Homo-oligomer: A and B are copies of this chain.
Amino acid sequence: MNISKVAKLTGVSAKTIRYYESIELMPEPMRAENGYRDYSDKDVDILKFIQSARKMGFALKDVGNLLQLWQNKNRASRDVRELAERHIKEVENRIFELQNIRDTLKNLVECCHGDDRPDCPILNSFVKENNCGCEET
């Protein structure tokens, strides 16, 4: 199977597949006589695994660890779970930060006339200590 077929099967671009190989996340595939990469079904499974883990927001470093665990039949599910739990915490922290940003910006946008006039509580908020310039004007 050549690289573009694998790309279609997995949804990972050829460029990215080569990149994963270069950082040794993927094993090196066989080579056809013409030098083209020649992938097996197992390679495709590995790539699908990587892609799934990426979609769950795991960093490539974590994906590498998950891949190790996946291929180690003596793994402890505890290790996988701990990795996932750490990741969940990071995701939740990020959600929290983004929600704060969203709430603050929504307040500011509501206060902003949004017309031809220059006065703008959004810009004001970047200068002053308080977060929302609503009470003035």
Say how far A90's CB is from chain B's closest CB, in angstroms: 10
Interface contact A118-B76, CB-CB below 8 Å: yes
Contact check: which of B57, B82, B116, B122 meets A84 at CB < 8 Å?
B122
A73-102 near B? 1/0 per residue, CB < 8 Å: 111111011101101100110110011011
- CB of A7 within 8 Å of the partner chain: no
Contact (A52, B112) CB under 8 Å given A57-B101, A80-B122, A120-B80: no
Contact (A114, B52) CB under 8 Å given A87-B105, A91-B105: no
A51-75 near B? 1/0 per residue, CB < 8 Å: 0110111000000001001101111
- CB of A136 within 8 Å of the partner chain: no
Interface contact A66-B118, CB-CB below 8 Å: no
Which residues 35-62 of A sit at the B interface, judged by CB distance below 8 A? 45, 48-49, 52-53, 55-57
CB closest residue in chain B, given A73: B118
Interface contact B118-A106, CB-CB below 8 Å: no
Contact check: which of B45, B49, B102, B118 meets A92 at CB < 8 Å?
B102
